[in-house]
Amino acid sequence: MVETTVFTSDDIKKAVKVLREIRPAYVEMLEFYEQLFMTQESSKNQIDIEPIRISDQELSIKIKEKFPLINSAEFAIDIEASKKLFVFICEAATKTKAAMSATAGKLMSSIDAALDLETLFAGILEGDDGPFEKTAKALGIEKNVLAFFAYSSIKPSVMLCAEQLSVYLKQQDPWQQGYCPVCGTSPVLSMLEAEGARSLICSFCWHKWPVKRVFCPYCNTTDSNILHYFFSENEKEYRVYTCENCKKYIKTIDTKNAERLIYPPLEHVVTMHLDMKANEMGFSSEYPAPQ
C-alpha cells in the first residue's frame, strides 16, 4: 500500500483559522499560503504520474549502502500541471503586500515570452542555480523568489512521486538516517509524536520517516551534552533543537502539545521567528527560509 497523507482543503482551512488567531503576526502571509497549499493539494490529487520502478537488484544495493531510493533529479514531473500552478502562484502573489509581489508581477508579464519554465523546473530538480541566475538578471527580479515559485509549482508532482516510491521502503529496516530515504535531502522539520517517537520531514519531497529520539540529523552525533533545545512558554508545541558540533538546528513540532491539525508545510511558514532566533544564536539551517 502506498503511504499517503491526504489533506483536504477543509483541513488546511481549519488549520489556518486556528493559526490566524494564535499567530497574528502571520495573518497576511497566511492569506497567500492558504491558497498556495490548498491548490497544491488539489493539484496533487489531479496529476497523473507513472510511478518510478526500482528493480529488486537495485533496491537491495540501495538498502545495503544506505542510499536513498532516487536522487532529486530523478523525480517525475507533470510539466503541464506545474506550468498551470506557476501561473496561479504568480497571480496569487501579486495580490499580497509581501516583497514577492513585485517579482510575481514581472513574471506574469513574461510568462508567454521570455520565461522557459521547463528549464527552471529542471534547475530545481538538479539543484542547478544557473537558469535562476540568468532569468533573474534578465527580468530584474529576485532569484530566491523565482526559485520558490518554481519549486512550489513542481511540489505536487514531487510529493506524489515520493508517496508512490514509499512502497519500496516498507521492505527495509528502519532507515534511521538524517537524510530522506526517498530522495536523500535534509529534513526541514522534526515531529515528536506519541510515546517518545520522533520523525523527520524531508525539505524537498515532504516524506516523513521515523528516527531515534536523540541525534543530530545533520552530523549524526548522539552526544546529549552538545544537543540542546529551546522553546517559548507561549508556544509549547514548538522546540528548536540545536547542535553544538555542526552548529545546525531543526525546528520541531511536539504534537502532544498542539491541539490542532498539524499540516507541516504551514507549520514551517508560521515558525519563521524561530528560524530568526536560531540564526541570531549562531545556528544555521540547510533549507531556504519561507518567502
* Nearer Cβ to Zn ion (214/261): 214
Identify residue 207 by its one-letter amino acid code: H
| Segment near Zn ion (CB under 5 A); pick from 18-26, 42-50, 164-172, 246-254 | 246-254
Q: Which of 98, 246, 262, 272 binds Zn ion (CB under 5 A)?
A: 246
Tell me the residue ranges of DSSP E strands in 99-196. 187-192
CA–CA distances in Å: residue 150 to residues 35, 83, 156: 16, 9, 12
Asked if residue 82 lies in contact with residue 117, where contact means CB atoms within 8 angstroms, the answer is yes
94-104 burial by CB neighbour count: b if 16+ within 10 A, else e? bebebebbebb
CB of 201 to Zn ion, least distance (A): 9
Does 241 sit near Zn ion (CB under 5 A)? no
Does 202 sit near Zn ion (CB under 5 A)? yes
Secondary structure of residue 232 in the 3-state scheme: strand
Nearby residues of 209 by Cβ (< 8 Å), 6 or more positions away: 169, 175, 180, 181, 199, 200, 202
* Nearer Cβ to Zn ion (120/180): 180
* Nearer Cβ to Zn ion (131/181): 181
Long-range contacts of 223-231 (CB under 8 A, 24+ apart): 230/277, 230/281
Burial group, residue 140, by CB count within 10 angstroms (0-12, 13-18, 19+): exposed
CB of 243 to Zn ion, least distance (A): 3
* Nearer Cβ to Zn ion (245/257): 245
Q: Which of 77, 154, 183, 240 binds Zn ion (CB under 5 A)?
A: 183
| Segment near Zn ion (CB under 5 A); pick from 74-82, 195-203, 231-239, 277-285 | 195-203
* Nearer Cβ to Zn ion (81/182): 182
Q: What DSSP character marks residue 253?
A: E
Q: Which of 69, 125, 216, 270 binds Zn ion (CB under 5 A)?
A: 216
Q: Which of 75, 132, 218, 249 binds Zn ion (CB under 5 A)?
A: 218
CB of 53 to Zn ion, least distance (A): 18
Q: Which residues bind Zn ion (CB under 5 A)?
A: 180, 182-183, 185, 202, 204-205, 207, 216, 218-219, 243, 245-246
